Structure 1
């Protein structure tokens, strides 16, 4: 049948529209961020104790493992520290900071990652611990690790808080933040709350560029002790003693050669 005049006009209109459309329809894509710097609040820490006499082999093997992460375009940051002072002296600690917790659901080639670590790292060290923390930005004066700006050293305090006293402890920490910010003489104070592998614990990490920075107080009690008003100082220190069950302190030295910043 010969097409009607109306059908002919409609066909010409459709052809005109098609001429202005893309040649191929765009398919939906999922964008994987090439940088996860400061996009989330997760902090994952892993501890390793090098086997006696195998420290050099461990360092070399860990560097090889970092090369694996680099060649596979791992978007996560990986810091490496050695504990130089404190109860875990000699332990190697690595950690990833500043990414969302969901980033660890989508790690790069996780099975191959484990195999490479088994070849290059685990023969020379014993796994000591693994723990998961959440950065508390509301309690902190700065977040250098989340911003991928590690300091040469970090002063680390772990506070074991009494059961049911976490919220009261946080109120004291908020006062500490105010005092620290007002003084302007302390390094960046970053607080973390334990959420996996730890119970009722908080970590305070203080960025230190060198030993000279230790002239300024770097722990909760030390900062509270600088409060001028005697009544307020006594009340806060009394609360600190009532809410905190135990404290341990360490110094970690950053190893740029054992770290990977994408």
Structure 2
């Protein structure tokens, strides 16, 4: 190796870390399906202030977009169920550690207080963990929301968590690819133990094809005796079930790979 080539080689080694850093800085990062954390927030628009709430929330999403928030934010309106009329937003698919590194959290809160909080009453704040081992698909973690989602909350009896999860796995096996069932386990702000089942729906016609609840799936097994045993185990492990339908609001959502939300 000549002296000039050797000097060039040393220069390349010296510059390698800075070049790598520059490339990393230019390479877009994403939290898409990088973890199992779910954070949900519920808001009830004040009577007669639904339009102001929507407009304010869209302005808040624009703040997130301007600050290059890597988290996805979905928005839904509850159209059926005990919380009908509530707006629910949530982020899916990132690791829990991502929420220790939120983008400007103090400014985020101030912007929320300025844009949409005057027109709503906070309803709840909940955290869940995705259970991939129980699920047949994870569209929200893949940033592929459907036009609606059927949601059920299962409050499980103390000491029956293992039995309940065995039933959920049986539902996964019975489904046979006929539906997209995603299970989440409550971490904070929920009953304990509690599980949430989200069934992706592309329209009302899907209700004719795919059952949306654990009990119906267990009852559909071919062997009648096995079905009775499964239903008995279900009754022995669950305290309460609530059912809702959420309508996806694309104009109230922010997917980082997409353009900014509509004004």
TM-score, length basis structure 2:
0.89
Alignment map for 1:40-119 (pairs within 5 Å): 40-119=35-114
2:159 paired residue number = 164
Residue aligned with 2:54, SS:
helix
Q: Does 1:242 align with 2:255?
A: no
* Contact 1:33/1:75 (<8 A) preserved: no
Partner of residue 197, structure 1: 189
1:20 aligned residue: 9
Cα distance 1:33–1:158, how it changes in 2: closer, same or farther (>3 A)? farther
| Equivalent position of 2:215 in the other structure | 221
Shift in alpha-carbon separation, 1:96–1:57, aligned structure 2, 3 A: same
**Residue of structure 2 in register with 1:210 after alignment:** 203
Q: Give 1:228 deviation, angstroms.
A: 1.3
Shift of 1:130: 0.5
Aligned residue for 1:6?
none
1:35, distance to aligned residue in structure 2 (A): 1.3
Distance in 2, Cα, partners of 1:21 & 1:101: 42
Q: Distance in 2 between matches of 1:38 and 1:200?
A: 25
Aligned counterparts of 1:52 and 1:34: Cα–Cα separation in 2: 40
SS class of match (1:131): strand
Q: How far apart, in 1, do the equivalents of 2:189 and 2:8 lie? A: 61
Aligned length: 247
Would you say the 8 A contact 1:49–1:127 is kept in 2?
yes
Which segments of 5 or more consecutive residues in structure 2 lack a partner in the other structure? 257-263
Distance 1:58 1:92 in 2: 10
Shift of 1:175: 0.6
- State the shift of 1:16 in Å: 6.9
Shift of 1:20: 2.7
Choose the corresponding residue for 1:37, options 13, 32, 41.
32
| Counterparts of residues 117-132 of structure 1 (less than 5 Å) | 117-132=112-127
Residue 225 (structure 1) shift: 1.1
TM-score (ref. length: structure 1): 0.90
Per-residue CA shift, 1:50-72, capped at 9, x if unaligned?
Answer: 01110000000000000011111
Structure 1 segments unaligned to the other structure (5+ residues): 1-11
How big is the alpha-carbon RMSD for the aligned residues of Structure 1 and Structure 2?
A: 1.7
